[in-house]
Structure 1
Amino acid sequence: MKILGNQQFCKGGNRLSKKDPVSRRQFLNYTLMGVGGFMAAGALMPMLRFAVDPVLEAEAAGDFHPTKLKVSDIKSEPVRVDFKYEQTDGWYKSDVTQTAWVYKDSKGDIVALSPVCKHLGCTVNWNTNKAHPNQFFCPCHGGRYEKNGKNIPGTPPSAPLDAYPVKTKGGYLYLGKPQKNPYVK
Structure 2
Amino acid sequence: MNEHQSHEADHHGEKPKRREMSRRQFLSYTLGGAGAFMGAGMMVPMLRFAVDPILQPKTKAAWVKVVEEGKVTDQPASFKFKVHQVDGWYESDAELEAWISKDKGGKVFALNPTCKHLGCTVNWNANPEYKDQYFCPCHGAHYTSEGKNLAVAPAPLDEYEVKVENGFVYVGQLGPNKHVK
Question: What TM-score do the two structures reach when normalised by structure 1?
Answer: 0.66
Structure in which a larger fraction of residues adopt helix: 2
Q: Are 1:70 and 2:68 an aligned pair?
A: yes
RMSD: 3.1
Contact 1:141/1:156 (8 A) holds in 2: yes
Contact 2:161 2:172 in 1 (8 A): yes
Is 1:125 paired with 2:105? no
The residue number in structure 1 matching 2:180 is 184
Task: Provide the rounded CA distance (Å) in 1 between the counterparts of 2:117 and 2:29.
Answer: 64
Percent of aligned positions that are identical: 45
Evaluate the alpha carbon distance shift between residue 182 and residue 114 of structure 1 in structure 2; reply closer, same or farther with a 3 A threshold. Answer: same
Deviation at 1:120, TM superposition (A): 2.4
**Against the structure 1 CA distance between its residues 30 and 72, is the aligned structure 2 distance closer, same or farther, given a 3 Å change threshold?**
same
Distance 1:118 1:27 in 2: 62
Structure 1 counterpart of 2:159: 163
TM-aligned CA deviation for residue 93 of structure 1: 4.2
Q: Paired residue for 2:147, among 140, 149, 158?
A: 149
Please tell me whether the aligned partners of residues 124 and 136 of structure 1 are also in contact (alpha carbons under 8 angstroms). Answer: yes
**Distance 1:83-1:28 versus aligned 2 partners, 3 A rule:** same
CA deviations 1:111-138 (Å, max 9, x no partner) are 1112122232221111222333222122
**TM-score, length-normalised on structure 2?**
0.67
Q: Deviations over 1:9-63 (max 9, x none)?
A: xxxxxxxxxxxxxxx9999889867865664454233223212322232321x32
Q: How far apart are 1:88 and its partner, in Å? A: 4.9
Structure 2 distance, partners of 1:142, 1:79, is 20
Aligned length: 158
Classify 1:55/1:145 alpha carbon distance in 2 versus 1 (closer, same or farther; 3 Å). Answer: closer
Structure 2, unpaired ranges of 5+: 1-22
Corresponding residue of 1:10: none
Structure 1 unaligned regions, length at least 5: 1-23
